[in-house]
Amino acid sequence: MNVASITEMWDRLTGTQPAPSHWLVGATALVALAAVVLRGVWHVTRNAVTIAHEGGHGLVALLTGRRLQGIRLHSDTSGLTVSRGRPHGPGMVFTAAAGYTAPPLLGLAGAGLLTAGHITALLWGATALLLVMLVMIRNAYGVLTVVVTGALFLLVSWITRAQVQAAFAYLVVWFLLLGGVRPVAELQGSRRRDRSGASDADQLARLTGTPAALWLLLFYVVALCSLFAGGRWLLVR
C-alpha cells in the first residue's frame, strides 16, 4: 500500500460525508423500530444487541484492570462474559453495569458521529471493534455471529455508494437506540418470573447492597435518555 492510498484512506476516515435526506432518516427509524417491535424479527436482530451488551462487559472489564477470559454468544441471544479479578469493588460494579447500558450509549455515540457527518468513521470504527471482540469469542456460534456482522459492516463501507452507506449507518444507530430499551423491559419481566437472582441487576444489588430495582431504573434512564437525545440529534440534522 503506497503513501497515496494511505492518505486517501485517512481522508475518508477523518472527512465528513453529506447528510442524507430527511425521508431516509425517517425510513431507517421505522425499519429499526420494526426490527425491535416485531417478535419474530427481534429474535434474530437481538443478536446485535447481545454483541453490544457483552462487548460492553468486556471493554469495561479491561478498562478497570480486570483480566478478560472470554466472551460467549448463544443462539438464544443470551451471552456470557467471564473476567478475573477482585470479586468486589468498583471494577466489578462497573463491569456488571456495562452490559445493559452499552447498546444505548453506543447508539448515542453513533448519533453524535452521524450528526457531525462522520459516516465512514462510524462504519470503520464498528468494524474495528468487532474485530477486537472476535479475538475474545470462545464458542463457534459467537464467532459466526461476530464474523457475519463485521463482514456486513466491511462490505457496506467498501463496495456500496454513499447513499447506501448513510442508510445503513443510520439504521444501525437507530437500532441501537431503540434496541437498548427492549432488553431492559425483558429483564424486568424475567425477574418477575425467575427469582434465582442471576441477572445483572441482582448481581449489582449484591455487590453494592442496593435494591436491584434501582439498577433496573438506572438501565431504563440510560436507555430512554440516550434514545431521546440521540433521536433528537438524528432528526434535527
Domains of the chain by residue range: 20-236
- Chain position carrying cell 447513499: 163
What are the average pLDDT values for consecutive 10-residue runs of the chain, which has 237 residues? 61 73 96 97 97 97 95 96 92 97 98 95 96 96 97 94 95 98 94 79 95 97 98 90
| 234 Cβ contact partners less than 8 Å away, ≥ 6 residues apart | 25, 29, 111, 114, 115, 170, 173, 174
Residue 237, SS3 per DSSP:
coil
pLDDT reported for residue 14: 66
pLDDT reported for residue 16: 79
pLDDT reported for residue 5: 62
Residue 201 · residue 219 · CB < 8 Å: yes
Q: Which residue pairs from 147-154 have beta carbons closer than 8 angstroms and sit at least 24 positions apart in sequence?
A: 149/47, 149/48, 149/51, 153/123, 153/126, 153/127, 154/127
| 74 Cβ contact partners less than 8 Å away, ≥ 6 residues apart | 80, 139, 141, 142
Residue 184 · residue 218 · CB < 8 Å: no
pLDDT reported for residue 73: 97
pLDDT reported for residue 19: 83
- What phi and psi values does residue 55 have, to the nearest 5 degrees? -65, -35
DSSP character at residue 152 = H
What pTM does this model have?
A: 0.93
Dihedral-angle region of residue 77 (phi above 0 means left; psi in -120 to 50 means alpha; beta otherwise): left
